[in-house]
């Protein structure tokens, strides 16, 4: 029986390209000296300005703010790793995130099923909480963790195991829902059931070998949950 769900944030709760494409374009514009420098910065983080999308191996997709900063740092003057990471977090906290589906009605419905709910993201905790608060989700969640919350980053299982500990659930009763291999591998390592969604950059063929099921978005979860309890 499924009693809880841990969600990734970017690419899962929020449409990845629509949300982080804007962040990348604006952040690069703020750092770049000229057009050539902007192209170098975009290439360093796998950003495709023409489409607002990202290369599959971009650190923006599943890595941490510190990883993104490390990729940019050789191309940026006047920053060290700590200050550039802080600048990334500050910019991320005010990004206008685009919901993958209407979130409050969906999470209210999950609550009505008696499910415990959490978010485990490789984003930093402060901007993650800001995004969730802006979309009215904070009061519907039992657990929120970022890579810097003390449990480690995905694909390690620390955040998933912390959710199970906080909620008192057996990990086998919990879904880990995400849009990347990092999410699915973290859930499986924690003993959870991995579920993939396609609102990030990865394709179904990339995720299917690592997931119990691949869904178009988290709005398809209720119908799939019904098949599991039937």
Nearest to 197 by CA among 18, 15, 12: 12
Residues 142 and 204 in one domain: yes
Q: Per-residue pLDDT tens for 54-72?
A: 998 899 988 889 999 999 9
Domain termination site, one of 93, 125, 143: 93
Residues 38 and 104 in one domain: no
CB within 8 Å of 154: residues ≥ 6 apart? 8, 62, 120, 122, 147, 178, 182, 183, 185, 186
Q: Kindly state the tokens that stand for 75.
A: 């191309």
Residue 221 has pLDDT above 80, yes or no: yes
Q: Confidence band (pLDDT; 50, 70, 90) for 230? A: low
158 phi and psi angles, rounded to 5 deg: -55, -45
How far apart are alpha carbons 65 and 81 in whole angstroms? Answer: 10
Instruction: Quote the domain boundaries for residue 219.
Output: 4-15+97-229
Residue 229 has pLDDT above 80, yes or no: no
Residues 129 and 218 in one domain: yes
Residues 11 and 121 in one domain: yes
The conformational region for residue 228 under phi > 0 = left, psi -120 to 50 = alpha, else beta, is alpha
The 10 Å Cβ neighbour count of residue 80 is 11
Q: Per-residue pLDDT tens for 26-48?
A: 999 999 999 999 999 999 999 99
Residues 33 and 119 in one domain: no
Residues 29 and 133 in one domain: no
Residues 33 and 121 in one domain: no
Q: For position 147, what pLDDT does the model report?
A: 94
Q: How many helices (H) and strands (E) does the chain have?
A: 11, 8
The mean per-residue pLDDT over the stretch 141-167 comes to 97
Q: Confidence band (pLDDT; 50, 70, 90) for 18? A: confident
Report how many domains make up the chain.
Answer: 2
CB within 8 Å of 170: residues ≥ 6 apart? 164
Element holding 196 (H helix, E strand) = strand 193-197
Q: For position 17, what pLDDT does the model report?
A: 87
Predicted TM-score (pTM) of the model is 0.85
Q: For position 93, what pLDDT does the model report?
A: 86
Residues 31 and 83 in one domain: yes
116-120 and 4-7: which strand pairing? parallel
Q: Per-residue pLDDT tens for 95-143?
A: 889 999 999 999 999 999 999 999 999 999 999 999 999 999 999 999 9
């Amino acid at each position: 029986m499924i009693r809880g769900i841990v969600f990734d944030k970017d690419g899962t709760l929020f449409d990845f390209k629509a949300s982080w494409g804007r962040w990348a374009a604006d952040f690069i514009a703020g750092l770049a000296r000229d057009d050539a420098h902007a192209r170098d910065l975009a290439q360093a983080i796998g950003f495709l300005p023409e489409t607002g999308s990202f290369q599959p191996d971009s650190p923006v997709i599943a890595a941490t703010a510190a990883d993104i900063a490390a990729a940019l740092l050789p191309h940026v003057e006047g920053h060290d790793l700590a200050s550039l990471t802080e600048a990334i977090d500050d910019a991320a906290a005010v990004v206008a995130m685009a919901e993958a589906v209407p979130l409050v009605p969906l999470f209210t419905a999950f609550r009505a099923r008696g499910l415990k709910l959490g978010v485990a993201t490789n984003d930093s905790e402060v901007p993650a909480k800001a995004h969730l608060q802006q979309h009215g989700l904070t009061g519907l969640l039992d657990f929120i963790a970022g890579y810097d919350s003390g449990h480690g980053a995905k694909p390690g299982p620390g955040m998933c195991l912390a959710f199970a500990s906080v909620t008192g659930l057996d990990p086998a009763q919990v879904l880990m829902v995400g849009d990347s291999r990092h999410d699915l591998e973290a859930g499986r390592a924690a003993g959870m059931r991995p579920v993939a969604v396609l609102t990030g950059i990865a394709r179904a063929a990339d995720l299917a070998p690592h997931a119990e099921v691949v869904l178009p978005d988290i709005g398809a979860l209720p119908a799939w949950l019904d098949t599991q309890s039937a």
